[in-house]
Amino acid sequence: MQDNNAMFADGAAYERLMGRWSQKIGQHFLDWLAATPGKDWLDVGCGNGAFTEIIQARSAPARLAGLDASESQIAYARQRAGCNAAAFQVGDAQNLAFPDASFDVSVMALVIAFLPDPARAVAELARVTRPGGTCASYMWDLPSGVPTFPLYRELAALGHVAPMPPNAKISSSAALQQLWQDAGFEAIEVQTFTTPVIFDDFEDFWASNSGSVGPQAAMLHSLNDADRSNLRAALRQKLPTDAAGRIAYSATANAVKGRRAG
């Protein structure tokens, strides 16, 4: 299995590839959660702090903790000015280093499909949440809803199928709802969010999507010159481009939330 920690180790590259789109979806997600100010929050799989930053900005937490398995991502998150109130630590989403009933709102943003055992991670999320508190998650609708989908599509057309996360099937609304039901949450709801993905021009798209992070990175860097040239040509032809050269399309994420029983 591909090492997910290494695959997303570069916080700056992740920011350009996915972080900015994560924040757009995350804003919709937080509006949907509608948590009152002054709550204790946990952001599991926080990565480089892209989502943690908007929790701090929009939800007025009394306490905010972020956890991720990647030391380099955590190092990047600690440098974000918008995360100055957050306490970050390296840790395992499937074995959270927090006491029972520590938080009012516990969330996982764009991480659940990458975990080897999502059910165990959700059980841990529930364990560290206080009775009556909220547990929630959102994940790109894999494979076609992810912001990198046009790249995946053209790679596949050339015979290079980019690897999906180990539990990509968990990204559907139905699968997330079932996972929350199995974990014993109450008042479960699911929702789908869509956000525009916009690039200034083709070179902006290419630089953003061909960096050093993500499932597609190793595959792109292994292409020979001819395949790389064919890929760029196919993308130039098929990407939705306006008269000014700007590229715009949509990405979709599915979300679930529930109340901790007790």
Per domain, the residue ranges of the chain are: 4-259
- State phi, psi for 2 to the nearest 5 degrees: -65, 140
Residue 197: enclosing H or E segment and its boundaries? strand 186-199
pLDDT for 224 equals: 92
Digit-by-digit pLDDT tens for the chain (262 residues) are 334 444 455 555 566 666 677 788 899 999 999 999 999 999 999 998 989 999 999 999 999 999 999 999 899 999 999 999 999 999 999 999 999 999 999 999 999 999 999 999 999 999 999 999 999 999 999 988 999 899 989 999 988 887 788 999 999 999 999 999 999 999 999 999 999 999 999 999 998 888 766 667 778 888 899 999 999 999 999 999 999 999 999 999 999 999 999 8
pLDDT for 17 equals: 63
pLDDT for 240 equals: 95
pLDDT for 233 equals: 96
Beta pairing class for 40-44 and 129-140? unpaired
pLDDT for 2 equals: 37
Topology, domain 4-259: Rossmann fold (3.40.50)
Quick check: helix, strand or coil at residue 65? strand
pLDDT for 7 equals: 47
* Runs of H (alpha helix) within the chain: 4-7, 11-14, 20-33, 50-59, 71-78, 118-127, 149-157, 173-182, 202-209, 217-222, 225-238
pLDDT for 165 equals: 86
Would you give the DSSP letter of residue 249?
Answer: E
Terminal alpha carbon distance of the chain: 37
pTM score, whole prediction: 0.88
Omega before 143 within 30 of 0, i.e. cis: yes
pLDDT for 21 equals: 79
